[in-house]
A = this chain, B = another copy of it.
Amino acid sequence: MEWKQQLNDYIKLINNELERYISLKHYKNRTLIQAMEYSLTAGGKRLRPILAIASYELFNSNVERVLPYACGIEMIHTYSLIHDDLPAMDNDDYRRGKLTNHKVFGEGVAILAGDGLLNYAFEIMLQDAVKHNDMRRYVESIKSIAEGAGINGMIGGQIVDIESEGKTIDKETLEYIHLCKTAALITVSLKIGAIIANADEKDIKNMETIGENLGLAFQIRDDILDIIGENEKMGKNVGSDIKSKKSTYPSLYGLDYSINKVKELALNTNDILKQYNKSSFLFELNNYLINREY
């Protein structure tokens, strides 16, 4: 199958599943569900759940086993964007070309919609885990997701990011932000795909390494695109990092070095992927991500 066809099939599968999870009976809490649904269906690239499923498929079939966890990760990613966009944080009015959650529903509802998505992610994953007689690898996966999303992962990256606003930061701090804020959840997506597929320790470790490379490359590419990208394709204002005096990979290391760094990380990933028979999709996705223009 063409890899782009596979990509679209994955996205369709994930969107259907997310739609099913968020089509909730509501009672008095209707606004909350609407606000959660608004951001969850606002055209995300679904990168993290795609990676979780693709990693799973390297080692096993019956893809529905990994779906609740792939969707849980996407909900966690979505909540982090809602909170990140708030006036007290990045104060963004648009995301993916659509009004941000708080611009539509107000700040109070947006905060709760974020809380709701984070909490609901754990609900759906735990509700799935208890259905399995041998639940260990599912529970280990939820634990890994919690750690990747947590104070030494994504939220840790967020706090350092907002503290660094308007300041010049050193390379070590930028590395911390990139690895925690972006790479941690991408890494855990690839990792839990392998765990749920019952892969070996060594293979799980390989998926983690790919995640770190890919997560870092993805974020550096994002920084590069903020300089060279086109407004329309990005769905947000290009040059916003420069305007907000944000330290980025290109601003600390230069554009050429950054472009080379992305290539180097991509090569490392492809080296690992070579070991696996069914890795052509991840191989193509990796190359696509580092060359993308939006």
Residue numbers of A with Cβ under 8 A of B are 24, 27-29, 31-33, 36, 79, 83, 86, 88-89, 106-112, 114-116, 118-120, 122-123, 126-127, 129-130, 135-136, 139-140, 142-143, 146-147, 149-152, 155-156, 158-160, 162-163, 173, 176, 180
Tell whether, in the assembled complex, residue A32 and residue B139 are in contact, meaning their CB atoms are under 8 Å apart: no
Q: How far, in whole Å, are A28 and B164 apart by their CA atoms in the complex? A: 11
Tell whether, in the assembled complex, residue A28 and residue B156 are in contact, meaning their CB atoms are under 8 Å apart: yes
Contacts A111-B86, A119-B118, A119-B146; is A29 near B130 (CB within 8 Å)? no
Tell whether, in the assembled complex, residue A116 and residue B83 are in contact, meaning their CB atoms are under 8 Å apart: no
Contacts A106-B88, A143-B126; is A160 near B24 (CB within 8 Å)? no
Interface CB pairs A-B, < 8 A, 7 = A29-B152, A83-B112, A88-B106, A108-B162, A112-B159, A116-B159, A126-B139
Query: Which chain B residues lie closer than 8 Å to A108 at the CB level?
Result: 86, 88-89, 162
Interface secondary structure of A, over-half rule? helix
Q: How far, in whole Å, are A79 and B112 apart by their CA atoms in the complex? A: 11
Q: How far, in whole Å, are A265 and B89 apart by their CA atoms in the complex? A: 44
Q: Closest approach, in angstroms, between the C-beta of A185 and any C-beta of chain B?
A: 12
Query: Which chain B residues lie closer than 8 Å to A36 at the CB level?
Result: 151
Query: Which chain B residues lie closer than 8 Å to A126 at the CB level?
Result: 139, 142-143, 146
Indicate which residue in B107, B136, B150 contacts A119 across the interface (CB closer than 8 Å): B150
Tell whether, in the assembled complex, residue A136 and residue B136 are in contact, meaning their CB atoms are under 8 Å apart: no
Q: How far, in whole Å, are A22 and B112 apart by their CA atoms in the complex? A: 24
Contacts A108-B162, A135-B135; is A127 near B143 (CB within 8 Å)? yes
**6 extra interface residue pairs, beta carbon distance < 8 Å, beyond A24-B151, A29-B155, A118-B119:** A28-B156, A28-B173, A32-B159, A112-B155, A119-B150, A123-B150
Q: How far, in whole Å, are A33 and B127 apart by their CA atoms in the complex? A: 30
Q: How far, in whole Å, are A108 and B215 apart by their CA atoms in the complex? A: 25
Indicate which residue in B112, B120, B140 contacts A162 across the interface (CB closer than 8 Å): B112
Indicate which residue in B118, B123, B140, B142 contacts A118 across the interface (CB closer than 8 Å): B118
8 closest A-B pairs by CB: A88-B107, A126-B143, A29-B156, A32-B159, A88-B108, A123-B146, A119-B150, A122-B146
Q: How far, in whole Å, are A140 and B139 apart by their CA atoms in the complex? A: 11
Query: Which chain B residues lie closer than 8 Å to A127 at the CB level?
Result: 143
Query: Which chain B residues lie closer than 8 Å to A27 at the CB level?
Result: 152, 156, 176
Query: Which chain B residues lie closer than 8 Å to A111 at the CB level?
Result: 83, 86, 88-89, 111
